[in-house]
């Protein structure tokens, strides 16, 4: 029995050391050197103060800002997750209907406007900071009225902040609402 246990304990110790200490510490140090911004949470600073992360959405309710994708957890990254409502759940259907009506009303869009799914459904993480470019462009007139700015300058700002597919292959073009709203405040008072 001793001939089996002692080697097993040694292997456990070696792999614990390798995979539990050496590998994580090495990867952390490498990422801090190679990708310092990302390794430190992709934090967004404004006047020397951290105001959020590029990776975590925030709620914007004012008519002067682009509105984010809905969140089932109110953008709190600690309990990250969705509602777990299935496609046959009446609460899901009611929620989508209410979000569609509110979006159309708030943005003064024609009744039959097709609203992008990302505006109707919360993301599975609940903290997604991105919306499709079409969803951002649908909000331009509301923001223009609220800020007293021409729509052209706001559209140009949106187009400037459109991120392409990941590596040109994965996903769809998107706009980070947190970064876009920060630029809106900085560039188009």
Question: What are 57-74's pLDDT values in tens digits?
Answer: 899 989 999 999 998 888
Model-level pTM? 0.82
Q: Where are the alpha helices (H) located in 18-138, listed in sequence order?
A: 23-34, 36-39, 90-106, 117-120, 133-137
Cβ neighbours for 105, distance < 8 A, ≥ 6 positions apart: none
Cβ neighbours for 40, distance < 8 A, ≥ 6 positions apart: 32
Q: How far apart are CA 89 and CA 97, in angstroms?
A: 13
Query: Stretch 150-179: mean pLDDT, rounded?
Result: 94
With bands split at pLDDT 50, 70 and 90, how would you rate the model's confidence at 164? very high
pLDDT, tens digit (0-9, with 9 covering 90-100), for 107-144: 999 998 999 999 999 888 888 999 999 999 999 999 99
For the chain, what's the residue count? Answer: 189
pLDDT, tens digit (0-9, with 9 covering 90-100), for 1-27: 888 899 999 999 999 999 999 999 999
Q: How far apart are CA 187 and CA 123, in angstroms?
A: 29
Q: What is the reported pLDDT for 173?
A: 96
Whole-number average pLDDT of the chain = 92
Q: In what order do the strands lie in the sheet with 162-163?
A: 130-131, 174-176, 162-163
Q: Which of 42, 76, 51 is nearest to 186 (CA)?
A: 51
């Amino acid at each position: 029995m001793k001939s089996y246990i002692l080697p097993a304990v040694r292997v456990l110790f070696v792999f614990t050391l390798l995979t539990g200490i050496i590998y994580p510490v090495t990867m952390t140090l490498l990422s801090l050197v190679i990708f310092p911004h990302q390794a430190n949470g992709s934090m967004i600073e404004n006047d020397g103060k951290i105001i959020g992360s590029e990776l975590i959405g925030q709620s914007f309710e004012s008519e002067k800002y682009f509105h984010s994708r809905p969140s089932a957890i109110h953008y709190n990254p600690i309990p990250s997750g969705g509602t777990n409502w299935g496609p046959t759940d009446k609460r899901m259907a009611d929620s989508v209907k209410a979000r569609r009506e509110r979006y159309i009303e708030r943005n003064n869009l024609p009744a039959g406007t097709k609203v992008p799914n990302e505006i109707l459904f919360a993301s599975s993480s609940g903290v997604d900071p991105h919306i499709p470019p079409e969803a951002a462009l649908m909000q331009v007139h509301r923001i223009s009225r609220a800020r007293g700015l021409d729509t052209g300058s706001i559209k140009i700002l949106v187009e400037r902040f459109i991120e392409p597919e990941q590596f040109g292959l994965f996903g769809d073009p998107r706009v980070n609402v947190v970064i876009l709203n920060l630029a809106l405040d900085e560039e188009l008072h």
